[in-house]
Structure 1
Amino acid sequence: MLNTMMMLALSSAAAAASILGSNPTQGGACEAGTGQRVMVTVRGLKGATGMVRIQLYDGPGFLKKGTWLSRVEAKANRSEMTMCIAAPRPGQYAIAVRHDANGNGKSDWNDGGGFSRDPKLSLLNLKPSFDKVVIPVHAGTTNVLVTMNYRQGLSIGPVD
């Protein structure tokens, strides 16, 4: 019973994220007057396959497993997507984006990643510090642009 309820909740969340991915003005977190929200435009996706996941973090939990504050996920459907993610209150946050290019739910070398404020990444520095990616989120809508980075030989960067 619990597994069925969990699957229904996950299905509903995925459906809502898909709606936001194709029409960012729809969905609870993005409706006017519903608190703080971050409208994230993800550009430079390598292909329209797999899944795109956006996570919102605060400073203490930044990139620690299971510590994200909000999360949305949608099927990749073009090279640029806009999705909305809720913030619990105005404050300082970071956005992390992952493109699971083959949709297998595992981290592979072909997957892409990006962060708010587009920090420079390298094979030796795949996880920037919170202070390099922090953005202020105010009441209402905050717009953020994230450029995806992918492994290209021995370097990491946007797709050419």
Structure 2
Amino acid sequence: MNPEIIAGIEKALDELEVPHTRREPGQYLVTLEGENRLNTPTWLIVREQTVFVQAFVCRQPDENHEGVYRFMLQRNARLYGVHYALDRVGDIHLVGRIPFAAVSADEVDRVLGQVLEAADGDFNTFLELGFAESIKREYAWRSDRGESLANLKAFEHLVT
């Protein structure tokens, strides 16, 4: 474990005033607050030669896998420092690596900013593409019972 890199990551997170917890030396769980996705837990993990970045974005889609994966691949071409990937059960993550030579407050800010922009900005698209039928059922169920539809407002176009 590289103590200089660990100190650099800690300094960067402190300068950025980003909420985070240190799990073990060189492992930081950063909480990125958004609008569509209320928060995105993001790991920064110091490895042998890079700082590994990983953020959970969305669980495995229920439907339209091809559309979801096409979106991910097309979106990857426009992302900085991270890319969409699937874990072994099919959940969607953003992953990336920061080389030790690039570790600075500016670079950590840039990469975390990209994670937040992608995870928060693409979240509703993932829900629309991969969970449209579930959203429609939930909307109908709530409507029938007079329940609040406030957190489904962004998806009204799927049911009207």
Q: Same fold (TM over 0.5)?
A: no
Higher Rg? 2
Q: Which is richer in strand?
A: 1
TM-score between both structures, scaled by the size of structure 1? 0.29
Taking CA–CA contacts closer than 8 Å with sequence separation of 6 or more, which of the two structures ends up with the larger relative contact order?
1
Q: Which is richer in helix?
A: 2
TM-score between both structures, scaled by the size of structure 2? 0.29
